[in-house]
Structure 1
Amino acid sequence: MNQLTKFFWFCSGANFQILKRTPTESNKYIGIGATVFFTGVLAALAAGYALYTVFQEWLPAVFFGMLWGLMIFNLDRFIVSSMRKKENAWAEWKLAIPRLVLAVLLALVISKPLELKMFEREINRKLDEKKTEFIAQSKANLAKGFPEIQELEAKIDTLKKEVSNSEAFRDQVQKEYDAERFGEKTSSTSGIVGLGTNAKKKEQQLDAAQVALDDLRKRNQIRIDTIEAQIREFIALRQAEFEKQQPGIEGFDGLAARMDALSALTSESSAMAMANMFIMLLFIAIETSPIFVKLISPRGPYDEFLELHEDKVKLFKGERWTVAKGESEARVDYFQGTHFYATELKKEKTNLKNRAETDREMAKWQ
């Protein structure tokens, strides 16, 4: 008998001495023990991954993952080993129902982290979308928190518009001057070709418009540069506030966030929902399979020997109880007999003493 067989027997919670006497039951309990063992291994992997998303470090994730796997292994081993094959099927089901409920809960707990790992790429994409939304929302909120930037930008637009209006006026004067020189007849030109009096007046107006435009450009550019410096200061403050919020947005990668992303993906995609359901059902089947194996398998020699052993223990307990009860009753009878005898003897001595004292008193009076 190799060590692996003994190990799986141990995992199944079976009694070694009884299994050695029933070799036909060996394979059944090897299968049950292997299922319990690998369920514990899957639980350790699932817990390790889930805890790694929490701690972001391998050492505590490995340690607590192994601890969780051992706990699940111990629970599964207890669930399987505590079941007994009965003559009555309904009696077996009454024992199995609470164990099945516990097994289903354990399967759900074990399967969820592994589902997160299997759909990791899709979840990461969903988390990136959520981070982008958070960044846009954060920037919008920060923009509302710095209305000075919009006010200063509006002032810059006003100053630029003044320069544009002045440029449009200069261009209009330029057109009139050109029309006057080339003899184009308009409402504001004479229609005579050459540099006459009207043309010189137009030229003077053009020079004045150009000087006014240059002065306005210089003056507004100085004001624009000052306002842009103020805007840069406010933008720096806004960027500092955004950088304070950036770690929280970048750290949106925890277990709860991934579960929320998985829930969103399953609600958006029927294929994802079906795959998620099948994975969950697979783990439920794995977790409950040892219990169902015991339920559907016929009552075998191992169960007979186990029941015989337990009945012998009950009989031995009854024998010891009868012996102890008899010894206790004998001690009580002895105690009551000796106690009552001593009490009566004491009473008799007291009465004789009282009677003697009474006789002496009577003799004195006589």
Structure 2
Amino acid sequence: MEKITRFFWFCSGANFNLLQKSPTDRNKYVGIGGTIFFTGILATLSAGYALFTIFQSSYAAIGFALIWGLMIFNLDRFIVSSMRKRANAWSEWKMAIPRLIMAVILALVISKPLELKIFEREINRKLDEQKIQMMVDSKDALSASFNEIGVLEARKDSLSRAIQKATAYRDQLQQEYDHERFGVKTDGSSGIVGLGTNAKKKEQQLDAAQLELNQMKADHQNRIDILDQEIFSLGTQKEAEFQKVKPQIDGFDGMAARIDALADLTSESQAIRYANIMIILLFVAVETAPIFVKLISPRGPYDYLLDLAEKNIEVYASEKTEKLEYESNLRLMNIRIHNKTSN
């Protein structure tokens, strides 16, 4: 327990010798040191997640996260340890304001990656929606670039419709011919069974339509095959261009993309917006807690002993300076006397 206490004293930046003479202030600095220590832990976890998102490497993320966590820990320790309790409250607040601003900035930096982790599922869903939209936009852009495909498909459809129209006309003549042969009475048939004059006439029309259809199929099908080859070639080029863009869309999950997705979520959902604000305020409270503890707590024995230790050093330095100046003046006087006697 003693080792843990001394470790938290170290985290608070306090002087061990003075704290041991101030039993009423020991627990206060244990709490301050513990807050600074756990803030460093949160900073390490936050940086680890952020850096893993960037580097996609556990080793790099752990290494840089430890460096970042130690830096935040040392900075928090310096901010708190550099504060002094004075008799004048206004001078304390003037001294604390820059430190509070720095603490708020650190809280915002630390909280952002952890916010992204907390809302990871919602962010992933939002990123999937954005990726789908990006794919649609990319395909639309490629379709505009390869508009020849649409022109060729329109020509192909025109040829196919011509064949279908000729086929329908042939089928209609076939039906009229059958009605005439089998004696089915219609507006276009006589109703007499057998191959009479009308039947032979319709047979000639049917043979001519069939011949024209066969010729059209042979001609148009050849042109359709050529169009299919051109469409396939352009489609292959279009797909190749899309495959170049697709990895960039699939990889659209970096830190900036996630921050942007979180911003969209907070603008769309009031619940997520309030939860996000609460998380930020929590980290601001944790980061600024040691500073406020020093501001609102009364001057204790440790503060008086610290002032006394600093005053002792100040007096000692003043006395030492005075003594050095006196000795220097004395030597200069002896040199002048020696020079006069020599002359």
Q: Same fold (TM over 0.5)?
A: yes
Q: In the aligned structure 2, how far is the partner of 1:203 from the partner of 1:334?
A: 148
Per-residue deviation at 1:124? 0.6
User: Which residue does the alignment assign to 1:199?
Assistant: 199
Per-residue deviation at 1:78? 0.5
Q: In the aligned structure 2, how far is the partner of 1:284 from the partner of 1:100?
A: 10
Secondary structure at the residue paired with 2:14? coil
Change (3 A) 1:47 1:183: closer
Q: In the aligned structure 1, how far is the partner of 2:250 from the partner of 2:258?
A: 13
Unaligned runs of 5+ in 2: none
Q: In the aligned structure 2, how far is the partner of 1:183 from the partner of 1:287?
A: 98
Per-residue deviation at 1:229? 1.9
Q: In the aligned structure 2, how far is the partner of 1:131 from the partner of 1:185?
A: 62
For the pair 1:318 / 2:299, whether they are aligned, the reply is no
User: Which residue does the alignment assign to 1:285?
Assistant: 285
Q: In the aligned structure 2, how far is the partner of 1:244 from the partner of 1:204?
A: 59
Secondary structure at the residue paired with 1:299? coil
Per-residue deviation at 1:139? 1.0
Q: In the aligned structure 2, how far is the partner of 1:110 from the partner of 1:163?
A: 70
Per-residue deviation at 1:22? 1.1
For the pair 1:309 / 2:312, whether they are aligned, the reply is no
Q: In the aligned structure 2, how far is the partner of 1:42 from the partner of 1:298?
A: 29
The one-character-per-residue Cα deviations of 1:257-297 (angstroms, maximum 9, x if unpaired) are: 11111111111111111111000000000000001111111
Q: In the aligned structure 1, how far is the partner of 2:125 from the partner of 2:262?
A: 11
Q: In the aligned structure 2, how far is the partner of 1:169 from the partner of 1:267?
A: 62
Per-residue deviation at 1:201? 0.7
Q: In the aligned structure 1, how far is the partner of 2:172 from the partner of 2:338?
A: 141
User: Which residue does the alignment assign to 2:112?
Assistant: 112
Q: Name the amino acid aligned to 1:184.
A: K
TM-score computed with the length of structure 2 as normaliser: 0.95
Secondary structure at the residue paired with 2:258? helix
Matches within 5 A, 1:344-363: 345=343
Q: Name the amino acid aligned to 1:213.
A: L
Give the fraction of aligned pairs with identical amino acids, expressed as a percent: 57
Secondary structure at the residue paired with 1:87? coil
Matches within 5 A, 1:120-269: 120-181=120-181, 182=183, 184-186=185-187, 188-190=188-190, 192-269=192-269
The one-character-per-residue Cα deviations of 1:283-332 (angstroms, maximum 9, x if unpaired) are: 00000000111111111111111111111111111111111111122122
Q: Name the amino acid aligned to 2:330.
A: A
The one-character-per-residue Cα deviations of 1:138-159 (angstroms, maximum 9, x if unpaired) are: 1111111112211221121011
Contact 1:183 1:194 in 2 (8 A): no
User: Which residue does the alignment assign to 2:87?
Assistant: 87
Change (3 A) 1:101 1:180: same
Q: Name the amino acid aligned to 1:164.
A: Q
Contact 1:54 1:255 in 2 (8 A): yes
Contact 1:176 1:202 in 2 (8 A): yes
> Segments of 4+ in structure 1 off by > 4 A?
188-193
Q: In the aligned structure 1, how far is the partner of 2:203 from the partner of 2:338?
A: 149
Q: In the aligned structure 2, how far is the partner of 1:311 from the partner of 1:235?
A: 84
User: Which residue does the alignment assign to 1:8?
Assistant: 8
Change (3 A) 1:185 1:64: closer
Per-residue deviation at 1:337? 3.2
Q: In the aligned structure 1, how far is the partner of 2:2 from the partner of 2:314?
A: 34
Let me know the Cα RMSD of the aligned residues. Answer: 1.6
User: Which residue does the alignment assign to 1:296?
Assistant: 296
Q: Name the amino acid aligned to 2:219.
A: R
User: How many residues are matched?
Assistant: 342
Secondary structure at the residue paired with 2:83? coil
Q: In the aligned structure 2, how far is the partner of 1:341 from the partner of 1:159?
A: 129
User: Which residue does the alignment assign to 1:331?
Assistant: 331
Change (3 A) 1:277 1:225: same
TM-score computed with the length of structure 1 as normaliser: 0.90
Secondary structure at the residue paired with 1:184? coil
Q: In the aligned structure 1, how far is the partner of 2:62 from the partner of 2:144?
A: 46
